[in-house]
Chains A and B, each alone.
Chain A
Amino acid sequence: MDEITSSEAAARLIDNELSRLDPDANRPTNVISTEGLNLSFGGKSILTGVNMEFTRGTITALIGPTGSGKSTFLRTINRMNDKVPSFKHEGDVKLDGESIWGSNQDLLTLRRRVGMLFQRPNPFPMSIRDNVVAGVRAHRIAKGKQLDVVAETRLREVGLWDAVKDRLGDSPFRLSGGQQQLLCLARALAVGPEVLLLDEPTSALDPLSTESVELLMRAMTPALTIIVVTHNLGQARRVSDKTMFFYEGRLVEHGDTAQIFERPREASTDRYVNGLMG
């Protein structure tokens, strides 16, 4: 008994020490929150009344049938929808307590802090190395020899280094689809985001590549907060801490992933997670 108590005390001590070192300790627990968010394109409502908080360092899965508004929701968070002329939003999205549409919010900095990975791998038409450091260059985070270090670090981080270290100058389109997606992940990580938005990141990948992306997602938290749209319910169940279920333009239900899948409160959630509705 004594042993357990003392080890618990030690754990508490370490926890306290860690939280003192943690740069995020004094920030709001919720890295992103939405308040009464309504989204529409050309007067057609896509999503209404979303109030949601995303806890720092967690993985949240966004599930729901096609057209339920989850991708639109995701693309709103880094303001990718803003350029669509008919896009309108009401309510607010806050990053660290500040509105993402606020006048003191710089769009380019916002997108550096909130990274995104797309459904289809989209490397740029430049060498593998240049792809990894493309964002770093644009934001002038590093230059010259430092870029090589950044490239190696990030490629190691996503487990691609050994496969590409001898051909950093090659075209990224010679890589397999899974490797290309990992390269895009390395590119997104290189600018040091706090939040990563993943839009069906593995739907174009084979099972092995999917697994490595999922393992990486787990490894990247709690340093990073991840929001992932997925049609793969197994994936949502495997990787996420929280799950949000969207249906017909509404956030029907959200909660711990286990609860959503095992004890859904709403009938539509139940039907969807059990495969009775696609």
Chain B
Amino acid sequence: MSIISPSMQRTRARRVREMLFRSAAMASLVFVVGPAMWLVIEVVVRAVPHWHWNVLTTVSQGTSGGLENAILGTLVIMFGVLIIAGTIGILAGIHFAELARPRRSGKASGAVLRTATEVLSGFPSIVLGYVGYIALCVGLHWGFSLLPALLILSLMVVPYIAKATESAIRQVPTNYREGAEALGMSPGYMLRRIVLKSALPGIVTGVLIALSIAGGETAPLLYTAGITNNLPSASLIHQPIGYLTYYVWTDYNQPTNEAHYVSYDAALILLVMVLVLLVTSRIIVARTQRHAEGNR
């Protein structure tokens, strides 16, 4: 004889559903975290046993030697992208969020601009690289050099920064704005002192993604930056520049063990760079958000 009442049956069904959801969530987590861990472990395991510190202090000799030229080159490229794409992307995001609101201007220039940036972010990077090669390196006679590389990479990552900035600004609570307006703060002052400060974590995340992409891209750089074993020079054009991803890719395709070690080293250094970026950005966010509403 059954003693399970209808209400108990419902409870059991709910439990089963809940368990299914939990396992699905766990599976997704493993699906995301697993490959990332695998990647990190493989790189570390392959690079560390053959690690020599002079990789950091000597330049490359093609399939052997160090990576100093590539490390400095990647740092220069990331810094350049931070300046160019960071400025343009954040300003564009502020524009989308504050000035181009559809409800304010009716038709909104914002819609066109926003669509344009979304199209831009969907472009294959190698196509952008080729455009940069034809238009800048050949068309403007800049040759393989830093400036076309920076412009093309910035073009690629501006949408990420703009989007992140826009959504971060939109999430700033209305009551902060109302409070600021009621005190007679000007819109610009409110934006600088209240809105941007509160939106900073989101903006930093966008910039972080942009910099990681800039550091990790290969295809557009092959077309624009060229490659060189020399250290980066002060010239923006006419001088090719080295970068880590080139060595990760090229030396892995070489037959010698020595070349493979260079490839693993380059990958490890890139990983460490991204890690340092992550930690730095978390520190910046923690320092500036210590008075935020969530941090009681």
Q: Which residues of A contact B (CB under 8 A)?
A: 78, 80, 83, 85, 107-112, 115-116, 118, 120, 122-127, 130, 134-135, 137-139, 170-174, 184, 187-188, 191
- Whether the pair B293, A135 counts as a contact (CB closer than 8 A) is no
A187–B189 Cα gap in the complex (Å)? 16
- Whether the pair B178, A135 counts as a contact (CB closer than 8 A) is no
Of chain B, the residue at the smallest CB distance from A170 is: B291
Contacts of B290 in A (CB 8 A): 171
For residue A80, give the distance in angstroms from its CB to the closest CB of chain B.
7
Which of B60-68, B132-140, B190-198, B252-260 sits within the interface? B190-198
Which residue of B103, B179, B295 contacts A122 across the interface (Cβ within 8 Å)?
Answer: B179
**Beyond A122-B175, A122-B176, is A187–B183 a contact (Cβ under 8 Å)?**
yes
Q: Which residues of B contact A (CB under 8 A)?
A: 103-104, 173, 175-176, 178-186, 189, 193-194, 197-198, 289-293, 295-296
**Beyond A85-B103, A125-B197, A125-B198, is A173–B293 a contact (Cβ under 8 Å)?**
yes
- Whether the pair B293, A188 counts as a contact (CB closer than 8 A) is no
A184–B178 Cα gap in the complex (Å)? 12
Which residue of A80, A85, A171 contacts B178 across the interface (Cβ within 8 Å)?
Answer: A80
Which residue of A116, A120, A138, A170 contacts B185 across the interface (Cβ within 8 Å)?
Answer: A138
How many Cβ-Cβ contacts under 8 Å join chain A to chain B? 85
- Whether the pair B182, A80 counts as a contact (CB closer than 8 A) is yes
- Whether the pair A125, B175 counts as a contact (CB closer than 8 A) is no
For residue B19, give the distance in angstroms from its CB to the closest CB of chain A.
37
- Whether the pair B183, A115 counts as a contact (CB closer than 8 A) is yes
Contacts of A118 in B (CB 8 A): 175, 178-179, 182
For residue B68, give the distance in angstroms from its CB to the closest CB of chain A.
43
Contacts of B184 in A (CB 8 A): 107-112, 135, 138-139, 191
- Whether the pair A171, B296 counts as a contact (CB closer than 8 A) is yes
Closest 10 CB pairs of A and B: A111-B184, A135-B183, A122-B175, A116-B182, A112-B184, A108-B184, A171-B291, A122-B179, A138-B185, A125-B292
